[in-house]
Amino acid sequence: MKTTPPYAVITGITKGIGRAIALRFAREGVSLIGCSRHQYDLDTMADQIRESFPGIDIHFVKADLSQPADVRSFGKAVLKITRAPAVLVNNAGIFKPGSIQDEEEGILEKTMQINLFSAYHLTRDLLPGMVKGKKGHIFNLCSVASLQAYPGGSTYAITKFAMLGFSRSLRAELRSTGIRVTSLIPGATWSASWADADFPEDRLMAAEDIASLVWTAYALKSPAVVEEILIRPQLGDL
């Protein structure tokens, strides 16, 4: 009988923390299901992974998680491959600088859709199989903005406060099911969003360090669970 490989489902898989987590799990022998808005990025990353980790099964899907229909279609695509992924990383997110009083209309709704609603609905789609199997690990990408609001990022903070609330609620609900839930709360981390930032390299963290912590939390033996990972640059928040 053919053995089904363990799968990590990762949204926003081609950039930043999502990409680093995917590469770490691939290195450890975990197959990947992921999504991004850009087909070229997905194809390029898939080729790189196949070259570096030829035994890994890869299923990448173009999906814009600002669109509820794409969230649903990605969930359906995952369930055709596996009914119970070993890992779900709700990583997709956007940040639009601005203030509540003068940002353009609709920014809150769009940011909430990507940063929270997509994670909520995808998790709901995948939970039945995970609960039935009584195993799995869900990582929700929060932020230090989940803990402290700051000028110029109010809408982002609103959504990330909500994301931490979602993650903590999920942890409370799933405690007796065998499914672990971890909230990732990183400070500034190098990614495409910071590509043009004029900061010394050591003022931001490497995405690979976040990925290492995610793998370590996942690899813990039951019944241990890391409920929250708060990590900042050594010199503090920007």
Q: Domains along the chain?
A: 7-231 (3.40.50.720)
Q: How confident is the model at residue 5 (pLDDT cuts 50, 70, 90)?
A: confident
Report the alpha-carbon distance of residue 232 to residue 49 in Å, rounded.
Answer: 29
How do residues 11-59 score in pLDDT, each as one tens digit? 999 999 999 999 999 999 999 999 999 999 999 999 999 999 999 999 9
Q: How confident is the model at residue 1 (pLDDT cuts 50, 70, 90)?
A: very low
End-to-end CA distance of the chain: 53
Q: Taking residues 134-143, what's their average pLDDT?
A: 97
Q: Taking residues 114-138, what's their average pLDDT?
A: 97
Which of 35-44, 109-118, 127-136, 194-203 is predicted with the least confidence, judged by mean pLDDT? 194-203
> Is the omega angle on the peptide bond into residue 6 within 30 degrees of 0, that is, cis?
no
Tokens of 36: 């991004």
The SS3 call for residue 34 is strand
Of 182, 180, 70, 60, whose CA–CA distance to 118 is shortest?
70
Q: Taking residues 98-113, what's their average pLDDT?
A: 95
Instruction: Report pTM.
Output: 0.95
Of 173, 169, 162, 36, whose CA–CA distance to 91 is shortest?
36
Of 85, 77, 79, 83, whose CA–CA distance to 6 is shortest?
85
Of 148, 185, 187, 150, whose CA–CA distance to 164 is shortest?
185
